[in-house]
Amino acid sequence: MALTLDSPLTALAGIGPKKAELFQKLGFSTVGGLLRHFPRAYQNRGEIRTLAEAGFCGEPCAMMLTVGSMPSSVRLKNRMVMTKFTAFDETGRCQVIFFNQAFLKDVFVLGATYRFWGRLVEKKGKWDLASPQFEPYDGVHPLPDFLPVYPLGGGVSQKLLRTAVGLALEGLGEVEDPLPAALREKYGLGGFRQALETLHRPMNLEGLSEARRYFVFEELLLLSLAALRDRQESQNRPGLPVMGEITADLASGFAMHRLLSGDVGSGKTVMAAYAAFVAAKNGYQCALMAPTEILARQHYNDLAPLFASLGISVALLVGSLTPSAKKKIHEAALQGEVSFVIGTHALLTEQMRFQKPVLMITDEQHRFGIRQRAMLAEKGRDLHVLVMSATPIPRTLALVLYGDLSLSTLDELPAGRQKVSTFLVNESYRARLTGFIRKQVEEGRQVYVVCPAIEELPDEEGEIDGPLVDLGGHPIEKNKIKRALSFAEELAAALPGLSVACLHGKMSGAEKEKVMSAFAAGQIGVLVSTTVIEVGVNVPNATLMVVENAERFGLSQLHQLRGRVGRGKYKSWCILVSDTDSEEALSRLRALCATNDGYRIAEFDLAQRGPGDFLAGSGATRQHGAWKTSLASLCEDTGLLESAMKEAGELLANDPALEQAEHRGLKAALRDFLAERAGEAS
């Protein structure tokens, strides 16, 4: 029986309940989810080298060799079993060796040809090829040039993923194409099945670009359709009248659904406070939800004294409060004794109820999923909603990501805000940079150091040896990645006498709060972190941001990180460290050095990298399951974004319910897309 996209993974041969659980940890449980788990890169095995060439290249490569002797196995003194045989080509011969894989002596056939992938090593004047990967070659059917490399996790190996994808592709029956034929023809997108085959099993690079375009367009079209539907619903939803753009919304008689997008430090909190003030002065209640306890406390400490002076009561509701303290706030809100509640996810509990709610504000909205924002908005009937983002978002992209929200932008910084001087350096500046870090701390200032990863990842990286290319066929550099845990130790050793701490996403919430609180209090001089500090507490005393392997971050993300410094009266710097040889990557980093304008940076990032950074950062649309993809970040034609919005508008205008026969596949895809979005709780 043919597989469908909805078939469970256990329908694949060799995938039982235990292996299916491993895939579940990657975020999918169906054949469709598996096939939408796209490769992140490819090994180029089409570039065949002779033994003579491979011996001097110094890196893993592909070799087409013929088995020249019968394989044999022997047990070594350390109880390991070694299986070996000779193989040759027209330039020489080598010894192929495997350990603890005795069954391979029955796999290799004398005189047969195989494509091997491995590193050739000279030992005592002879060449050894130890534990290579291999594929039989019959001389008739060409082998694929590119081997997919998938994002991993949850104990799933590259081999298991490749095997499962192969079984899924071979067993998949007829599938309704999500994109109508007219759209595919208009944009030259090919078909769904063809695009799947190409991305997972490319024979060459020629079709990769078009296959990628198919899924990028599909993704943006579904986002656009969802956004336009949400906008239509929100515009017709009644709201409570209360009293620029936000005031007009509150007084309009319809529910406000507004995104306030502004650069770091542009004054979004002031705008939110104004909206809360208007609500409270008109006899209503409001809430502000922040992603972390320390940020919630910061908002409370800043706003509570101001509101108290205006006769407005403010309460703080966070997870670390005692049950009795929480109960007191719950009762006060229900009785209408408190007008403004600032908190974290604790605001979402059933016990948190308001007597007369009117406005719900979400800070750093991309840290919350759709379900969480909806739960906050459901604290009352027909509430006004204001969400704030410190990520400057180009207007066109904002219409796709947040089509249900009206958009306001703050594109000027408050008077007196420090501009952060930004510089790009390489490893040759390491000693000088370490000295500069010491100088800042010794002068009483504080320093952030951001790394792209937490620790070594042997499970995945051990399986991916040799050079890689991305989905566009461009080489992927393998610069040494700075890991937060180990680099914190290195810095502590290089900076004796200074307080160095580490912060990363695998720490518990309480641990992260403790470290950030200590840093905010000036007890830590150097904080080594992953991007978990991208959104964090205001530390005016922090004057230096160092970003390691800066080429691995999007410009908008780097700009967010840079916004962590320059918040006080002291001169501040951002140092980007990169040893990349990619001129494209260097041009992006130089662009960041040239401007502090977040919107210009966002537009540049969108033009250079596509919408991937914004999609990944949104949290509301790119989290789990069948639609988890990074292809949009590699989109080369950003015009697809506007095209998708245009087509979505025309589709809904002509066929609002997508009932026409040619829209059947699109309707099913949109249904699945909306169901997955609604089920997110990130």
Predicted local confidence at residue 405, as pLDDT = 64
- Report all structural domains of the chain as residue ranges with CATH numbers, in order of start: 1-41+153-173 (1.10.150), 46-137 (2.40.50.140), 240-410 (3.40.50.300), 421-596 (3.40.50.300)
Percent of the chain exceeding pLDDT 90 equals: 42
In the numeric block, the tokens 């250079």 are attached to 608
- Pairwise pLDDT comparison (269 vs 570), residue with the higher score: 570
Mean pLDDT of the chain: 82
C-alpha–C-alpha distance, residues 165 and 547, integer Å: 37
First to last CA, the chain: 36
Residues 6+ apart with CB under 8 A from 174: 2
Of the pLDDT bands very low, low, confident and very high (cuts 50, 70, 90), residue 617 is very low
Cβ-based neighbours of 454, under 8 Å, separated by 6 or more: 483, 484, 485, 504, 505, 506, 530
User: How confident is the model over 258-305, as pLDDT tens digits?
Assistant: 777 766 666 778 888 888 998 898 899 999 998 888 888 888 988 999
DSSP string, 342-390: EESGGGGSTT---SSEEEEEESSGGGS-HHHHHHHHTTSSS-EEEEEES
* Residues 68-122 pLDDT 10s: 999 999 998 878 899 999 999 999 999 999 999 989 999 999 999 999 999 999 8
As a whole number of angstroms, the distance between CA 17 and CA 9 comes to 9
Model pLDDT, residue 536: 60
Q: Which residue has the tokens 């940079």?
A: 433
Residue 435 has pLDDT above 70, yes or no: yes
pLDDT score for 616: 40
* Strand extents, DSSP E, 79-132: 81-89, 92-99, 113-118, 120-123, 126-130
H or E element in which residue 673 lies: helix 664-678
Pairing of β 468-469 and β 475-476? antiparallel
Write the CB contacts of 439 (distance below 8 Å, at least 6 apart in sequence): none
Closest to 217 in 3D by CA, of 623, 648, 620 = 648
Over residues 414-440, mean pLDDT: 88
For residue 408, what pLDDT is reported?
Answer: 66
Of the candidate ranges 139-148, 196-205, 356-365, 366-375, the one whose mean pLDDT is the lowest: 366-375
Of 257, 374, 363, which Cα lies nearest the Cα of 303?
363
Predicted local confidence at residue 78, as pLDDT: 79
Tokens of 189: 């997108």
Return the higher-pLDDT residue of 350 and 601.
350
Least confident of 269-273, 307-311, 367-371: 367-371
What are the tokens at 109? Answer: 């056939």
Q: What is the pLDDT of residue 3?
A: 92
Position 677 scores a pLDDT of 61
pLDDT of residue 222: 87
| pLDDT above 60: residue 637 | no
Distance of CA 106 to the CA centre of its chain: 44
